[in-house]
Amino acid sequence: MVNFEFSEDEIRFRDSVREFAKRYIEPKWVEIDEKGRIPLDLIKKMGEQGLFAIPVPEEYGGMGGTMVMAAIAVEEIAYHDPSVAVAVYALLNNGWPLALALFGQEEAKMEILPKVASGDAFFGIASTEPQGGSDVAGIKTVAKKVGDKWIVNGEKSYISGVREIQELPEGGGFFFIAKTEKAVWSHKRITAFALLPKWNGKIKPGWKPTVFEEIGRHGISTGGFTLENFEIEDKYRIGEVNKGFYLVLQGFNIARTLVAAATIGSARWALDRAKEWLTTRKLFQGRPIASFEGISFKFAELYTELEAARYFVYKAAWMIDNTYLTKDPKFKPYDLNLPVAMAKLKAPEVTTRIYEEVLKWFGAYGYTKDCNLYRGWLGTFSYTIGAEGAQNIMRYIIARDVLGSEAVRNVWVKEEE
């Protein structure tokens, strides 16, 4: 049976998140975007509200919820901060903690996840390197095992949360991948770790961060870092040696679903602003703008596309719950690739189209900073550009899974394997 309704528990949860976001996030979101900082006291409040580690089991300090609930939370947060900075902070600290809970070692999970859930520490993803993000098999960072530690050297770039790790009381880190053999192009020589550059309030030696200046979603930092003989204890290794490629791709499926949830929350806010404008703004002898079919028909199309994107998002979240949390044997991790790619493809691109049209409907006012629509446009556009997976990679995944891998696979990939 197909059920398109949230359960009573999910509705109550959505309403509690909405009330929290309206009270604590909505009044501050423009200031957050202007100043380029999510206040630490807001992060702490979000932790106390249970907005981090939602799908992580309670024994690891999580909320014991579901991915559907995490998607609900991220969508609602993005509605009240359409620049999506606060939503991105929330999605990172829900998606990647779940990946750690699924694949990490017991000692590391018990140590890291409660601090992330409380808002005292950050846990995101660090896979992208200066030479490219989508080419995961082409990373050059190397980890070498020496005794019970790994010595890591390399560089990561375009990583969210670099500044926050330095400022949060406990610090935090990333779901991190490195080559564990000679750094040649291969997906078979990658191992995953929980990299903690600052932990228990102390910055570890060998980590040299930098923060970039971006055009949008200013509240959460994006930066990079180099690692010079950085030590990682083996207890922080995630999964088996040389199996990190497969684990990080599963983590991306979780994170991409929440990325899509963030963009639809922001897009919903934009369409609500448009609805107010189109029904109250009057021209040509008192006619509301909505009375012109060139506008109202386009609104109808965009509204429909957004609803379709929401369907993709919640179907993907539901499948993740069945795969990892309820462990329904009918669902396998590979089955997530197609629904997640469709959600990540559809939601950001629909959101970009919505903002472009709504800004035009607002006319000259839309081009002013007073309007604030541009903040949502620039923030969500980062995911059309390709953060958490380039859009053409989503198209490749969909084509591969529908048409068959042999039909669409590039020759050079086949030769490498």
Of 220, 238, 256, the residue that ends a domain is 238
Predicted confidence band at 414 (pLDDT cuts at 50, 70, 90)? very low
My answer on whether 283 and 385 are in the same domain is yes
CATH number of the structural domain spanning residue 358: 1.20.140.10
My answer on whether 342 and 259 are in the same domain is yes
Measured CA to CA, the distance from residue 337 to residue 163 in angstroms comes to 31
Q: Does 365 reside within a domain?
A: yes
Residues pairing with 178 in the sheet: 191
Task: For Cα atoms 342, 57, 231, give the angle at the middle one, nearest 5 degrees.
Answer: 85
Q: How far is C-alpha 320 from the geometric centre of its chain's CA atoms?
A: 15
Residues pairing with 198 in the sheet: 172, 203
Q: At 396, list the tokens.
A: 């490749």
My answer on whether 130 and 276 are in the same domain is no
Share of the chain above pLDDT 90, in %: 90
pLDDT value of position 4: 83
Cβ burial, residue 211 (10 Å; 0-12/13-18/19+): middle
CATH number of the structural domain spanning residue 221: 2.40.110.10
pLDDT value of position 272: 98
In whole angstroms, how far apart are CA 298 and each of 305, 357, 381, 384? 11, 8, 20, 21
Model pTM score: 0.95
Q: Does 328 reside within a domain?
A: yes
Q: Which residue has the higher pLDDT, 181 or 377?
A: 377
My answer on whether 224 and 336 are in the same domain is no
My answer on whether 256 and 400 are in the same domain is yes
Q: Does 1 reside within a domain?
A: no
Report how many domains make up the chain.
Answer: 3
pLDDT value of position 62: 97
Task: For Cα atoms 380, 381, 387, give the angle at the middle one, nearest 5 degrees.
Answer: 90
Residues pairing with 132 in the sheet: 129
pLDDT value of position 2: 67
pLDDT value of position 405: 86
**What is the residue range of 87's domain?**
8-121
State the average pLDDT over residues 178-199: 87
Q: Is the pLDDT of residue 181 over 90?
A: no
pLDDT value of position 1: 53
Predicted confidence band at 170 (pLDDT cuts at 50, 70, 90)? very high
Q: Does 2 reside within a domain?
A: no
My answer on whether 77 and 137 are in the same domain is no
Q: Does 263 reside within a domain?
A: yes
Measured CA to CA, the distance from residue 365 to residue 388 in angstroms comes to 32
My answer on whether 83 and 126 are in the same domain is no
Q: Does 112 reside within a domain?
A: yes
Q: Does 172 reside within a domain?
A: yes
Q: Does 144 reside within a domain?
A: yes
Measured CA to CA, the distance from residue 302 to residue 350 in angstroms comes to 7
My answer on whether 261 and 403 are in the same domain is yes
Q: Which residue has the higher pLDDT, 208 or 137?
A: 208
pLDDT value of position 132: 80
Of 222, 238, 254, the residue that ends a domain is 238
pLDDT value of position 412: 47
Of 101, 121, 141, the residue that ends a domain is 121
Q: Which residues contact 65 (CB under 8 A, 6 or more apart)?
A: 13, 54, 55
Q: Is the dihedral of CA 265, 269, 274, 280 positive or negative?
A: positive
My answer on whether 66 and 127 are in the same domain is no
Predicted confidence band at 184 (pLDDT cuts at 50, 70, 90)? low
Render pLDDT for 279-298 as a digit per residue (tens, 0 to 9): 999 989 899 999 999 999 99
Q: How far is C-alpha 312 from the geometric centre of its chain's CA atoms?
A: 16
CATH number of the structural domain spanning residue 79: 1.10.540.10
What SS3 state is found at 196? strand
- Which residue do the tokens 């989503």 mark? 394
174 close to 124: Cβ distance less than 8 angstroms: yes
Predicted confidence band at 174 (pLDDT cuts at 50, 70, 90)? very high
Render pLDDT for 99-146 as a digit per residue (tens, 0 to 9): 999 999 999 999 999 999 999 999 999 999 998 878 888 899 999 999
My answer on whether 280 and 407 are in the same domain is yes
Nearest to 33 by CA among 163, 211, 221, 209: 221
Render pLDDT for 342-356 as a digit per residue (tens, 0 to 9): 999 999 999 999 999
Q: Is the pLDDT of residue 331 over 80?
A: yes
DSSP class of residue 23? I
Share of the chain above pLDDT 70, in %: 96
Q: Is the pLDDT of residue 416 over 70?
A: no
Report the range of poorest mean pLDDT among 196-205, 320-329, 331-340, 407-416. 407-416
My answer on whether 147 and 277 are in the same domain is no
**Could you give phi then psi for residue 191, rounded to 5 degrees?**
-125, 145
Q: Is the pLDDT of residue 185 over 80?
A: no
My answer on whether 322 and 369 are in the same domain is yes
